Amino acid sequence: MKVCIFGASGYVGSSVYVRLRSASSDDVVGTYLDEPAMSEGLYKLDVNEPESFSNFYKEENPDVVIWAVMSGPNEHKLTDQGLMHLITHLTPETKLIYISSDFVFSDGKGPYREEDRTSALPEDHTFSNYANAKVKAEHFIENELSNFVILRAGPIYGENRIGKLDERTDRLSYHLRSDRKIDFRNDLTRSFVHVEDLAAVIEELVYNDVTGVYHVGSERRQSFYTFMKSMAKQMGYDDQLVEKGSEEEKVDAEIPKDTSLITKKIKEVSDVTFR
Ligand SMILES: NC(=O)c1ccc[n+]([C@@H]2O[C@H](COP(=O)([O-])OP(=O)(O)OC[C@H]3O[C@@H](n4cnc5c(N)ncnc54)[C@H](OP(=O)(O)O)[C@@H]3O)[C@@H](O)[C@H]2O)c1
């Protein structure tokens, strides 16, 4: 079996890449874009370049594809170009595992179920590029493919397989190490998921025939403040230094304060326990 991870040098992708390579003798290939590559053996590839993408894909011809690329403000390009190239190359036998986000929910109020309606943000919203690209990507995948899994995640945290922390926890420990206060919003509720739990679910999905849309993460819904306070404690710091942040920010407009996810469905098909 051959598995290909696009974005194998990223935070999530590198965990999945290292995990799969160390767990099996299957052929696992991965791509990166910017130097330096975070693991050995990765191929440099811009997924938005049709010719090099096509050459790479035809050469590798994977049985399972994991799409772990992300490009914040250029996310639209990744959907309109990269993902479209991929979809034109996939055969019905090839399984696509696509990592999506709770950003696809901009209507209503969490906790959301898998079947709740996704919706786009107004074009002039700060997060519209990322959020709307994810909404569009999910539509493309659901309309064009049948052999796919879409995994929707809230904030992903923790140390990954190659020792990298998410940006938020990194900022937390940077402040607390030097006894400096730091604040996080208490009015924004999310479902957090540990990067290694997500990688473990992806590993299972590579080897089973489960398809469909699934929410991943802990059943506990927490505010950034509550969650980061517990992280501070877990890391052995003084959690009193974690304070409640101010509640009104312009970028919040149009985004529900609670974008937490109901994660029951994934438990029916996966043995992974979300911490
Ligand atoms: N992090 C979170 O909290 C979070 C939450 C929900 C969902 N997600 C989803 O999880 C997935 C992985 O996110 P992440 O946090 O691991 O992101 P990340 O650390 O930023 O990694 C993204 C990867 O995409 C690659 N990439 C970007 N543009 C590319 C292009 N044009 N061609 C080829 N590769 C390209 C980057 O390559 P280089 O590093 O080599 O430049 C990098 O390896 C994404 O789909 C994201 O939307 C993340």
- Listed ranges 2-11, 36-45, 72-81; the one with the highest mean pLDDT: 2-11
The response to whether residue 46 sits with its C-beta less than 6 Å from ligand 1 reads yes
User: Does residue 37 carry a pLDDT above 80?
Assistant: yes
Q: What is the pLDDT of residues 49-67, one digit of tens each?
A: 999 999 999 999 999 999 9
The stretch 77-103 carries a mean pLDDT of 97
Confidence at 26, pLDDT banded by 50, 70, 90? confident
The stretch 37-49 carries a mean pLDDT of 94
CA distance 220 to 61: 39
The stretch 149-175 carries a mean pLDDT of 97
The response to whether residue 224 sits with its C-beta less than 6 Å from ligand 1 reads no
pLDDT given at position 116: 98
Confidence at 255, pLDDT banded by 50, 70, 90? confident
pLDDT given at position 73: 81
| Residue nearest to ligand 1 atom 7, measured at CA | 101
Q: What is the pLDDT of residues 199-214, one digit of tens each?
A: 999 999 999 999 999 9
User: Does residue 254 carry a pLDDT above 80?
Assistant: no
pTM (2 d.p.):
0.97
DSSP secondary structure, 207-264, as one string: HS---EEEE-S-S--EEHHHHHHHHHHHTTS-GGGEEEPPS--GGGTTS-SB--B--H
Output b/e per residue, 6-25; b: 16+ Cβ within 10 A.
bbbbbbbbbbbbbbbbeeee
pLDDT given at position 147: 98
The stretch 106-120 carries a mean pLDDT of 96
pLDDT given at position 133: 97
What average pLDDT is seen over the chain?
95
As a whole-number percent, the residues of the chain with pLDDT over 90 amount to: 91
The response to whether residue 69 sits with its C-beta less than 6 Å from ligand 1 reads yes
Confidence at 246, pLDDT banded by 50, 70, 90? confident
Confidence at 225, pLDDT banded by 50, 70, 90? very high
How far is residue 29 CA from its own chain's centroid? 19
Structure tokens at 268: 């029916």
The response to whether residue 191 sits with its C-beta less than 6 Å from ligand 1 reads no
Q: CB under 8 Å, gap of 24 or more: what pairs does 82-88 form?
A: 82/6, 82/47, 82/48, 82/53, 83/47, 83/137, 83/140, 83/141, 84/140, 85/47, 85/48, 85/50, 85/53, 85/54, 85/57, 86/6, 86/47, 86/53, 86/57, 87/140, 87/141, 87/144, 87/145
User: Does residue 248 carry a pLDDT above 90?
Assistant: no
The response to whether residue 104 sits with its C-beta less than 6 Å from ligand 1 reads no
pLDDT given at position 252: 74
